[in-house]
Amino acid sequence: MAEALDPAIPKDIDDLAQAILRQACDTGLTLATAESCTGGLLASLLTDMPGLSHAFERGFVTYTHEAKHEMLGVPKAVLDADGAVSEACARAMAEGALAHSRADAAVSITGFTEGGPGQPAGLVHFAASRRGEATVHRREMFRDVGRAEVRVQALRAALEMLAGRVGVGGR
């Protein structure tokens, strides 16, 4: 069980994080995260597992356009044309996490936890990459369920994608 995040993290999310880390440890894979709307919550979860966290290589918290560009190499053209909450940005973030780390697999999260003009609450884009494989994308609309709930649901979706990149549960 995650120590610092217990009991805030639902058991299924905690179990999936443990399974991913166990598989990564067993196969010698390292992991990276590129997060925006979750603010490092996924990295915190993956580093909070006693005896398994050594599979985590690094995390990038890139909340602003500038951070996404500077830390992950997300092209300014993508940010200007598609926006930070888009498939193109999510893909560039995941691929940038691999390019700027020594990790074997990476997952990205970018979305709106709260609504605003042109910003539908609960819209989140994810991407997962593994060296030598095609990047995959997922779009979720969690709706206006509140900031905390969007973040928890985003953790679940990102972990499901990461599981597919490391071979957990036949994903």
Model's pTM, two decimal places?
A: 0.94
- Of 66, 53, 130, which Cα lies nearest the Cα of 97? 130
Give pLDDT, residue 4. Answer: 52
pLDDT block averages, 10 residues each, the chain of length 171: 64 96 97 97 95 96 98 98 98 98 98 92 97 97 93 97 88 44
**CA 39 → CA 76, 113, 114, 121, distances in Å?**
21, 11, 14, 16
Domain count, the chain: 1
Number of neighbours of residue 105 by Cβ within 10 angstroms: 26
The conformation of residue 81, written as its DSSP 8-state character, comes to: H
5 domain residue, yes or no: no
Q: Where are the beta strands (DSSP E) in the chain?
A: 31-35, 56-61, 105-111, 123-130, 136-141
Give pLDDT, residue 8. Answer: 79
Give pLDDT, residue 169. Answer: 73
CATH code, 44: 3.90.950.20
Q: Look up the domain containing 64 and give its range.
A: 11-170
